[in-house]
A and B are shown apart, each in its own frame.
Chain A
Amino acid sequence: MDEVALRSLIPGVLGVLVRRGADFAAAEDAVQDALIEALRVWPDDPPRDPRGWLVTVAWRRFLDVVRADAARRRREDLVDEEPQPGPVPSADDTLRLYFLCAHPSLSPSSAVALTLRAVGGLTTRQIAQAYLVPEATMAQRISRAKRTVSGVRLDQPGDVATVLRVLYLVFNEGYSGDVDLAAEAIRLTRQLTAAIDHPEVAGLLALMLLHHARRAGRTAPDGSLVPLAEQDRRRWNTVLIAEGVGILQTALSRDRLGEFQAQAAVAALHADAPTAAETDWVQIVEWYDELVRLTGSPIARLNRAVAVGEADGPRAGLAALAALDDSLPRYPAVAAYLHERDGDPDTAARLYAAAARRASSLAERDHLNRQAARLNAGRR
C-alpha cells in the first residue's frame, strides 16, 4: 500500500476512535502515532487489513495514554470496555472532521496544519518540512489548534466556505518541499466532493485540476517562470483539463454560482484555447465581472483589468487599472505589461523594475527583472 492510500484511511480511523468515545485531541494524537508506526513497519510487514491494523494500534495507543494519565481516571469506565469493531466511517464523519479542522476560531495557518495532519494524514515532520518551519514549531501549532477546537461539538454543522479557503491555501502554497501540497490539496478536495454535494466544492476541485494541468508548462528547466502566453501548451495535461472542465460544467449547470466556479471558468477558458492568441478574452472579462460582483476582491479587479486589456486593447486595460489602488500587489507588473502593449517601452521598463522590487516571490522577482532588462536592452 502506498503512502497516499495509507493516508486516505486516516480520517476514517480517527472517526472510529472519536465514536468510541475518545476526545478529538487524544484520538488524533493516537492516530498520528499509529500512522508513524505504520510508515515504519508496513514496508517489511504489510498488514492484511490496513484499516483494521490502524484502528487497533491507534486505539491501543489511546488506551495507553489514558491509563498513564492519572488526571483522566474518571474515564476508566470507558477504557475498560472492550472496544467494538467500529462501523465503516460514513461520509458524515469525514465531513465533520473537515469542518472541525477548518473551524472559524482557528487562524489560517493553524487550520491548514490541523487539516493536513488530521484529514490528510501527514506527519508533523512532513508538514513542518513543507512549510519550512522547525518540527517543534509545527507540533506546537497543531496542539494549540486542537486545544482551540476542543470545545467544539463534532455534530455541529460547519461552514463549507471556511473548509474551501483552507484547501485553497494548501493548493496555492505551491510545489516546494518534499510533500506535494498541490497534489495533496487536490486529493483532500476530491475526498470532500465525495462527502458533500456542493457546487463550490466542485468548483474548487475544477479550479485546482485546471491549474495543476499546466504545471509542466509553468516553469522552464532552470526553474524560471513561464508566463501563460508563452507556455508550451503541448505540455499541459489534457486528461486533467478534461476532468476539470467536466466537473465545472456539471457544477455550473446547478446555477448556484460562487467564486471558485467563476475562477475555474476563467482557467477553463485558458485551457480551452489552442494558442494564446485564440483565448476568448471577452468571455474571460465576463467571468471577472461575475467574480468582482461575488467577492468585490481587488485582486479580481486587477485581473479583470488585464483581461480588458486583451479584449478591448491596452488603453481600455489601463483605464480599468486607473480605477484601482496602486498599492495592490502586482499592480505595477500589470501596469508594465499594459504600457508595453500600448507601445511605451520606457514606462514599461521602469514599471517592471518597480514591480520586481515589490515582488513577493523570488521567481516572480527574477521574471520581472528579466522583463525590464529585455526592454532596456531593446532601447540601447
Chain B
Amino acid sequence: MKYLLLKHYRGGPTPVTEMPMIDKWTPEEISAHVRYMQEFAARLQDSGEYVDGQALAPEGTFVRYDGEGRPPVTDGPFAETKDLIAGWMVIDVDSYERALELAAELSAAPGQDGKPIHEWLELRPFLSAPPIITE
C-alpha cells in the first residue's frame, strides 16, 4: 500500500521543539541534515519501498478557470498562507505501522546541535484500485 509523506514548511500541529529556522544553523548542521535525508531515501530504495520524492519551491500561484475564451485567473503568491507544503515522498509498504515507523525515522533528521528536529510529517494513504473480492 502506498502512502504520501508530506513535509510542511508551515501548518500541522504545534512544533515540539523551539528549533530556529534552518538559516540560523551552522553549515555543518545543514550538511548533516541534508545527508540524513539523502541516506533515508537511499535506505528506502534499498529496501524496495521507495516510489518517489520531490521538493517544492515555497512560492506558488493559485490558478482557476474564468470562463470560455478568457485567460486563467491567478492569485498569490501568499507569503503568510497557513499551510505550506515543502515536499513529499511516496512509499510503498506492507502496513500502516511500517509507514508510521518510516515517517518517524524521517522526522528524526538532525537539526541544530545534531539533535532530532521532531518535525511533524503528514501521512496520507493513496486511494487504490478496488479489490475484486469484497463479499
Residues of chain A whose beta carbon lies under 8 Å from any beta carbon of chain B: 107-110, 113, 131-134, 136-142, 144, 168, 171-176, 182, 207, 211-212, 218, 225, 228, 263, 266-267, 270, 303, 306, 330, 359-365
Q: Decide: A267 near B135, CB < 8 A? Known: A133-B51, A361-B129.
A: yes
Query: Could you tell me which residues of chain B, from 22 to 74, have a CB within 8 Å of some CB in chain A?
Result: 45-52
Counting chain B residues whose Cβ lies within 8 A of the other chain, the interface size class is: 20 to 34
Residue among A207, A211, A359, A360 with most chain B CB within 10 A? A360
The reply to whether B132 and A174 form a contact with Cβ atoms under 8 Å apart is yes
- Across-interface contacts of A173 in B (CB, < 8 A): 129, 131
Is residue B134 contacting chain A, with contact meaning CB distance below 8 A?
yes
Nearest CB in chain A: distance from B41 CB, A: 11
Is residue B7 contacting chain A, with contact meaning CB distance below 8 A?
no
The reply to whether A211 and B133 form a contact with Cβ atoms under 8 Å apart is yes
The reply to whether B48 and A140 form a contact with Cβ atoms under 8 Å apart is yes
Q: Decide: A363 near B129, CB < 8 A? Known: A134-B51, A136-B45.
A: yes
Q: Decide: A171 near B125, CB < 8 A? Known: A133-B51, A137-B49.
A: no
Q: Decide: A172 near B45, CB < 8 A? Known: A109-B94, A133-B92, A134-B51.
A: no
- Across-interface contacts of B50 in A (CB, < 8 A): 134, 137
- Across-interface contacts of A267 in B (CB, < 8 A): 133, 135
Q: How many A-B residue pairs have CB under 8 A?
A: 85
Nearest CB in chain A: distance from B79 CB, A: 32
A134 to B45: give the CA distance in the assembly, Å: 10
Q: Decide: A172 near B131, CB < 8 A? Known: A107-B94, A109-B92, A360-B125.
A: yes
Least CB separation from A136: chain B residue: B45
A174 to B129: give the CA distance in the assembly, Å: 7
The reply to whether B128 and A144 form a contact with Cβ atoms under 8 Å apart is no
The reply to whether B47 and A140 form a contact with Cβ atoms under 8 Å apart is yes
Contact of A263 among B46, B49, B125, B133 (CB under 8 A): B133
5 closest pairs, A vs B, by CB?
A: A141-B48, A174-B129, A140-B48, A361-B130, A176-B129
The reply to whether A175 and B133 form a contact with Cβ atoms under 8 Å apart is no
The reply to whether A140 and B94 form a contact with Cβ atoms under 8 Å apart is no
Is residue B16 contacting chain A, with contact meaning CB distance below 8 A?
no
Nearest CB in chain B: distance from A140 CB, A: 4
Contact of B130 among A133, A141, A174 (CB under 8 A): A174
